[in-house]
């Protein structure tokens, strides 16, 4: 059996589903109203270094909102900039509110990236997350086969702690203070 992470999902399993929206706060409130998900942690102007879009440097500016229902994390994404990016690519085809990706936790980031590349998939988006010690993420372009991308999230104590903190906010939540900021 795989190690269960502190936010309730097994290591190496899907830990998050993500959607691209045209307004984070409006979408978060609507998701709370219709699905009971919340509260949402709003991370404005997500900080990452060495970002690439299909291998070329990018400075895409995005904000995300994270919330839990049970042990599943939901991510809403809003893009502030007009530079080419994996989110706008999908919105052009499917519109706002569309499903974008599943995130999978990994402690074997390099091996997992190599495995997807050996299967013929491209790395669509890559970066190193500044607030959690430069831990990496990579979006694997599996749209043609799965209808969405796969994001690999490199797990460390800091990354696990962030997701656990968001999950803890949802436990015994009273339905108030839907939007929260760090």
Domain of 93?
14-170
9 in a structural domain: no
Q: Which of 80, 14, 9, 32 is nearest to 180 (CA)?
A: 32
User: Mean pLDDT score of the chain, rounded to an integer?
Assistant: 96
Per-residue model confidence as pLDDT tens digits over 29-87: 999 999 999 999 999 999 999 999 999 999 999 999 999 999 999 999 999 999 999 99
Contact call for residues 13 and 34 (beta carbons, < 8 A): no
Q: What is the total count of domains within the chain? A: 1
Per-residue model confidence as pLDDT tens digits over 107-138: 999 999 999 999 999 999 999 999 898 999 99
Give the CATH number, domain containing residue 146: 3.10.180.10
81 in a structural domain: yes
Q: Which of 64, 45, 50 is nearest to 103 (CA)?
A: 64
What pLDDT sits at residue 1? 54
């Amino acid at each position: 059996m795989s190690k269960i992470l502190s936010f309730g999902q097994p290591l190496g399993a899907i830990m998050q589903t993500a959607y691209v929206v045209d307004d984070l706060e409006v979408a978060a409130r609507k998701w709370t109203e219709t699905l009971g998900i919340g509260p949402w942690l709003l991370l404005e102007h997500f900080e990452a270094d060495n970002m690439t879009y299909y291998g070329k440097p990018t400075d895409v500016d995005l904000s995300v909102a994270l919330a839990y229902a049970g042990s599943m994390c939901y991510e809403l994404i809003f893009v502030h900039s007009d530079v080419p990016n994996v989110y706008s690519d999908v919105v052009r085809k499917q519109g706002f509110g569309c499903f974008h990706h599943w995130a999978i936790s990994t402690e074997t980031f390099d091996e997992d990236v190599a495995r997807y590349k050996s299967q013929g998939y491209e790395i669509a988006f890559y970066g190193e997350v500044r607030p959690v010690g430069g831990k990496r993420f990579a979006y694997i372009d599996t749209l043609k086969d799965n209808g969405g991308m796969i994001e690999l999230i490199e797990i460390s104590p800091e990354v696990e702690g962030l997701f656990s903190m968001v999950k803890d906010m949802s436990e015994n939540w009273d339905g108030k203070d839907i939007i929260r900021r760090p």
